[in-house]
Copies of this chain bind each other. A is one copy, B any other.
Amino acid sequence: MAEIERIRGVLLDIDGVLYAGGRAIGGGKETVAWLASAGIPFRCVSNTTSRSRRSIAARLRTMGYDIDASWIFNPPLAAIRRLQGKRTFLLAQGDVGDDFLAAGVPLVEEGAEMVVIGDAGNSFTYRAMNLAFRAVLEGAGIVALEKDRYWMGADGLMLSAGPFVAALEYATGSEAAVVGKPSPEFFRLALEDMGVRPSEALMVGDDLASDIGGAQAAGMKTALVRTGKFRQDAFEASPIRPDLLLPSIADLPGALSKRYI
């Protein structure tokens, strides 16, 4: 294992790291409490684009995590910084629009200067796609909250935002700016909030490409956990190597307590 400098801040992925399949990972709450007691600041980073920060934090609290909404970093937060108050056509579902409205972003159907696309589910209608398309032809930029291909739903695989972003790119010839993980900008935004430099920060995630590869590109140290979507065969086939490989979030205090790992 590589030598890791003293870690001054931690980013925790949520789905697959703090919980999986709707249940808290064993030892997760204790690790979060340990970080607080050890004086190591942390933020929770999620690529979820169908829930507001408040919703995400509320869900974590029902699982026993002591997490404030302001500690949640999600793609809408990165998008809001990029929008700078421009009139926005938002193609998303759930209460994620609340994050934009709370930041004073005007959400419109016509005359949009920016088109923001998240995981919109049944809101991906032909009408909505045409509205987004026309806005881009009239000069609006495209911001993708994520560009994932699909996710596993209760009754089968479901298309994520990526394919619909690709559709809009094909129709318009414009390229979307992707603001969620694995965009380095996204990790830096969460680190800025703690005042921690990337080289002194550790990203803990279960996704090799999105969590580990993205954080490495941002200059961070990384820890891959064997929970959530971790698969041994995918790990062995990938060229991406984390600094740490942990059974779960429960093993983080032990790993950080060692000077050399």
Contact = CB atoms under 8 A, between A and B. Distances in A.
A159 B137 CA distance: 12
Contacts of A123: 126
A112 B226 CA distance: 36
A257 interface: no
Contact of A130 (B127, B133, B159): B159
A162 B137 CA distance: 16
Nearest to A131: B156
Contact of A166 (B133, B137, B158, B170): B170
How many chain copies? 2
Interface in A200-218: none
A127 B170 CA distance: 21
Interface in A31-89: none
A125 B127 CA distance: 10
Interface residues of A, number: 28
A1 B168 CA distance: 40
Given A126-B122, A126-B124, A134 B156 contact: yes
Contact of A129 (B124, B133, B137, B171): B124
A229 B129 CA distance: 24
A137 B158 CA distance: 12
Contacts of A120: 126
Interface string A107-121: 000000000000011
Contact of A133 (B124, B159, B171): B159
Contact of A126 (B121, B156, B157, B162): B121
B167 A163 contact: yes
A137 B125 contact: no
Nearest to A155: B130
Contact of A164 (B150, B157, B162, B167): B167
